[in-house]
Amino acid sequence: MNRRRFGPLIAAVFLATAFIWARMAQVQVVEHRLWAREAANLLRSSTTLPYHRGRILDRRGRVLVEDRETYSVELVYRTFRREHPLGQVTHGRSALAMSAASLQNTAGRLVDHALEFVSLTPADLEEFRRGGSVTLEPSGVVIPAEDPVRARRAERAAEVGFYLRKLLGLSQREWTRLRKQAEQATVEGSWLSLAAEFRGRDPLAFQAEFVEDLEGAMVRLGRLARLAPSDAGEGGEGEAQALGRLLEGMQRIREGTEAAIARALFTEAAGFAPGRVETSTLEEHFDLDWIAESLRWSDARLELWVAGLRTDWERNWRTYFVPGAAIRARFDGGGEVAGERLASRLAELYRAPVGARGARDGGDAGWRGIERLIVFDELPTLFDLPASSLAAVAAPVLPFQSPELRVSVDADPWALLGAMAGEPDERSARFLAEEDPARPWNPPLDPLEAALRLRRVAEGAPPESSGEADDRYKLPLWLTGGWERLFQDRLAERLALASVAAADGPTLPFAPERLERARDQAAYIIRDLGSRPVVVSERPSFEIVLMLTRYPEHFQGFGVRDTTRRVAVAVEAGGRAVAEHLVGRVRESSLAEVVGQLPSRRELFDLRHKTLRSEEDRRVMSELVAQLFRNDELHGTGGVEGLFDADLRGENGYLEREGLEERGGSGAAGFFKPPRDGSDVVMTVDLDLQAAAQRAISHPVLPATERERDEVWFANPVGAIVLITPDGAVLAAASSPAVPGARVPAGRDGQGAFAHERTLRRFTFQPIGSVFKPFVAAYALDRLGLDPKAEQACDVREGRDWASWGHVRCHARWGHGPLDLHEALVRSCNAYFSWLGSTYPDGDALLEAAEAFGFHRPTGVRAVGGRTGVVEDASMPAFAAGRSLGPADLQRGANGLAVVEGTPMQVARATAALATGRLCEVRLVESVAGVPLEVVERPVDLSSGALEAVREAMIDVVVRGTAAGRGLGVAHLGFHLAAKTGSADYAQMNDVMAASLNGTQRPGMRKHAWLAGWFPADDPVAVVVVYLHDVGFTSSHTAVHVASQFLRSDEVGALVVEARR
């Protein structure tokens, strides 16, 4: 009897035991490596250790920029709403009313709202849970009765209870005990009074303390708000305004978090992002009320969310998805040719992802193997409709699904890609055409043109017109824009047909199992997205950091995070970095850089998850960690930051902890590779001289004694100052304006609105004028047999009303009379140099003269370091075009007009060559990692006698020539200056500009004004160049004053004194 009763049970136990032993054997033997790897991965934690980018210093070792350990303030909104009284009351009331109360509205009456909330009784909360109506006292606001299941009253009641507990300061155990006491009590009381009784406190005293805590919380938020930076300036914002600004920002974070939660809920239910569907289609055919109910949104808030979805998605499509696919096509290898590869990567954007319905289709077949499309693949099971309403799509939706194209195996891949093109929708086409009005883009007119242009982009060929300049970026967008239009049209058609079977018209309800899946994940999604910190201040004051770290219990949700930031240490009075164009800027890793390293990233991922690693594995990991860019890693984009980016960058480190070994005390060490910081770069720039140059060009002073006055230019300066050593070290290079967006005076060319780097660049026609004459003279003396004593007449010729020679008028209307070379340079006689230009046999000779001093050639600033970071306009367009120069061109060119252009840095280099007889390569950097850079120079291939003759004349220019009596003499400067002034016609004078000029002259042309020279004249310490853009008078009335202001500065005086020691 007993055996029959217990036999089956005993057999079952034996079978179960046998199964367990068999499974244990399988795990320990057969699946050992799998489970060992999983265990190791669970207990293995790793982190990348960032390096510090190298410092950039001036020539005296003063730091210009460096990486600094700083702080940022973050807000974790989930913590704020759960732990801070304002968040608790706001969200508790939202749960009651099933509508989202704002932080601002709650803050305005926090005490009233909080007392009303804690005045609820246990009976009220139970009635609410059951679906009954509840009246809030003392306001009399009624929460109406609702269907408890549809309105999710049980869930909301639990949420209300949670916020009541938090607001009353009770632990979970205390709350449980209080609820039990409330259930057993015969006398009804509010939660506030019950909590007071539970604590053994007088109810009135407990309430007073409760109110005091609420008021204190708002006072502390107000204090935080007042310390936070604002646009109002010091004393420009009151306490209420500061708090309102803070709450507005927090409300935006809350709304952004909720919008992200809504997107995640939709994606969980649908299998694709909501922005993947056109707004009108989403509004018409998708039932989204369940999302609004989940987040307690009003209809208006739901509509606002829907309206922004497509805009956000299209922005990501244009800036990330499509460019990323095009970049992957460039980097990917494999058997596909370039055209096929681009088609496949772009088509991948439409492939259905891995999901419940199985693996991705097509394998490695590229675009030819894509059958299932995103969104369309989900339609058969997405909605609560009869199974036949949205059957799987059979007909091709997009061009790359065409059977005719797919069988064209031997066709030109670029022609195939062009044949796939469709017409983009109106909005996409408008974006492509109008994104940058200054660079209009012309879309292809037909598939053949599209194929040709796509091929040119892939081969790196230059665009054939300015309308094709952005083809690398815009052609993939144009191609996918046509696909996207077809995709959305077909989707709208499918849903319109399906809506015929819907019970409630065109709006289609999600399938119940889809909603259940999303609601099952809702708690995790809300917790995950709500727990992500959002930076609210990148540069908090010390007071804020101290307050948040010392009293974290008073600022729940706010936290301080250590961070590394590239900081400009040397700044001017307005907070702008000193020499920012020369120092350059940094950026985070680009999409191309990250995508280009994907194979290495995958390799590192596999090594990180490998159970047992060899020494070779560790070596490879070390190399990969050092090579791979972090997403937030900084790269130089301009100036020295870009030019020496490879030196300034270091190598990331890596730390991995083996948790299991640590717990077991086995002493096995984790993997550790320390970071290597980048190398310091010492620039040639002198911080003091740079500041003096910037001050002079940004705030020039026009002397009261000057009769020819262009006061508009001096109030709105545009130009540059360069100071270099005779061997090419740049001591200062300042440009004006330094800040963009300045008001442009009427009659000027508009350059004053742009904060360009102007010492190495030309942004307009930029002839250098008479500062070119010394170089023309030196070449003629050495190569053309010019007799320096021979005189040439500068006078008014018969039938003329102005002194001239050939095609060039002299600046002296009645001429200079007979004069030799020395006097022609001293008085800057245009007629003499027009004659001298006519002695040049051809344009090649003039170009040879220019190139002897470094014109039409790079200055050398890019000769060391990388090849990016510094942009230079080196060539002269007239010579680069290769056209022959006629007599008029030679005459003007010898005067530095029309065909001769240059940058201030080129003029400085040429002047240094004239002063020393050696042509140097200009350099911005003195040393890298403590190793000095080589000084590169070569002799000027002209006789020393020719150079000396020109030098003597340039000394006389200051003593008795065009620069005499202009504050440049030894009495003003304390040293002798050798210099040449220059003025070059830039554009025709207009009436507005002419009316702004005050003086005895009536110029017919707008000019660029120059001064170039060196000091001291007999033993050069430095070479100076001053360039003024678009002025009304010649350099003798403009540039000389800016040069005098700069050279009279204490900083320049100190340079000369130091050199004399």
Of 277-291, 294-308, 903-917, the one with minimum mean pLDDT is: 294-308
Asked whether the predicted pLDDT for residue 5 surpasses 80, the reply is no
Of 426-435, 948-957, 1005-1014, the one with minimum mean pLDDT is: 426-435
Which is more confidently placed, 248 or 354? Answer: 248
Integer Cα distance of 129 and 159 in angstroms? 11
The pLDDT tens digits for 242-252 are 999 999 999 99
Q: pLDDT band for position 389 (50/70/90)?
A: low
pLDDT for res 188: 76
Asked whether the predicted pLDDT for residue 663 surpasses 50, the reply is no
CA neighbor of 924 nearest in space, from 712, 725, 630 = 725
Asked whether the predicted pLDDT for residue 453 surpasses 80, the reply is yes
Asked whether the predicted pLDDT for residue 356 surpasses 50, the reply is no
Three-state DSSP at 898 gives coil
pLDDT for res 665: 42
The structure tokens listed for 535 are 């930076």
How many percent of the chain have pLDDT more than 90? 58
What's the helix, strand, coil split of the chain in %, to 5? 50, 15, 35
Long-range contacts of 348-353 (CB under 8 A, 24+ apart): 349/321, 349/322, 349/325, 349/480, 350/374, 350/398, 350/483, 350/487, 352/376, 352/377, 352/378, 353/271, 353/272
Asked whether the predicted pLDDT for residue 120 surpasses 80, the reply is yes
pLDDT for res 925: 96
Integer Cα distance of 763 and 765 in angstroms? 7
The pLDDT tens digits for 834-855 are 999 999 999 999 999 999 999 9
Of 482-486, 655-659, 1015-1019, the one with minimum mean pLDDT is: 655-659
Which is more confidently placed, 814 or 28? Answer: 814
Integer Cα distance of 211 and 199 in angstroms? 17
Overall residue count recorded for the chain in this entry: 1061
Asked whether the predicted pLDDT for residue 36 surpasses 90, the reply is no
The pLDDT tens digits for 478-487 are 888 889 999 9
Q: pLDDT band for position 234 (50/70/90)?
A: very low
Asked whether the predicted pLDDT for residue 668 surpasses 70, the reply is no
pLDDT for res 387: 66
The structure tokens listed for 663 are 């717990």
Long-range contacts of 105-111 (CB under 8 A, 24+ apart): 107/218, 107/221, 107/243, 107/247, 110/85, 110/86, 110/214, 110/217, 110/218, 111/211, 111/214, 111/215
The pLDDT tens digits for 81-104 are 999 999 999 999 999 988 888 999
Asked whether the predicted pLDDT for residue 806 surpasses 70, the reply is yes
Integer Cα distance of 454 and 418 in angstroms? 8
What average pLDDT does the structure give for the chain? 87
User: Taking residues 674-690, what's their average pLDDT?
Assistant: 95
User: Taking residues 184-203, what's their average pLDDT?
Assistant: 86
pLDDT for res 473: 83
Asked whether the predicted pLDDT for residue 940 surpasses 80, the reply is yes
- Provide the angle, in degrees to the nearest 10, between the axes of the packed helices 471-498 and 426-434: 160
User: Taking residues 627-635, what's their average pLDDT?
Assistant: 83
Long-range contacts of 478-481 (CB under 8 A, 24+ apart): 478/421, 478/424, 478/428, 478/432, 478/443, 478/444, 478/450, 479/346, 479/417, 479/420, 479/421, 479/450, 480/317, 480/322, 480/346, 480/349, 481/424, 481/425, 481/428, 481/429, 481/432
User: Taking residues 421-450, what's their average pLDDT?
Assistant: 71
Q: Going by DSSP bridges, is the β-strand pair 586-588/558-568 parallel, antiparallel, or unpaired?
A: unpaired
User: Taking residues 213-218, what's their average pLDDT?
Assistant: 96
Of 47-51, 893-897, 968-972, 1015-1019, the one with minimum mean pLDDT is: 47-51
pLDDT for res 662: 39
Q: pLDDT band for position 658 (50/70/90)?
A: low
Q: Going by DSSP bridges, is the β-strand pair 56-57/681-683 parallel, antiparallel, or unpaired?
A: parallel
User: Taking residues 353-380, what's their average pLDDT?
Assistant: 72
pLDDT for res 518: 92
pLDDT for res 38: 45
User: Taking residues 401-412, what's their average pLDDT?
Assistant: 80
Integer Cα distance of 945 and 701 in angstroms? 39
Integer Cα distance of 389 and 502 in angstroms? 9
Asked whether the predicted pLDDT for residue 667 surpasses 50, the reply is no
pLDDT for res 41: 46
Asked whether the predicted pLDDT for residue 669 surpasses 50, the reply is no
Which is more confidently placed, 721 or 417? Answer: 721
Asked if residues 596 and 331 have their Cβ atoms less than 8 Å apart, the reply is yes
Asked whether the predicted pLDDT for residue 646 surpasses 60, the reply is yes
The pLDDT tens digits for 561-579 are 888 889 999 988 777 889 9
Asked if residues 18 and 11 have their Cβ atoms less than 8 Å apart, the reply is no
Integer Cα distance of 642 and 56 in angstroms? 12
Integer Cα distance of 102 and 351 in angstroms? 41
Asked whether the predicted pLDDT for residue 747 surpasses 80, the reply is yes
Q: pLDDT band for position 172 (50/70/90)?
A: very high
Of 386-390, 439-443, 601-605, 822-826, the one with minimum mean pLDDT is: 386-390
Distances (CA, A) of 360 to 350, 351, 618: 12, 8, 34
Phi, psi of 1007 (to 5 degrees): -135, 160
The pLDDT tens digits for 515-545 are 999 988 888 898 888 898 999 988 898 999 9
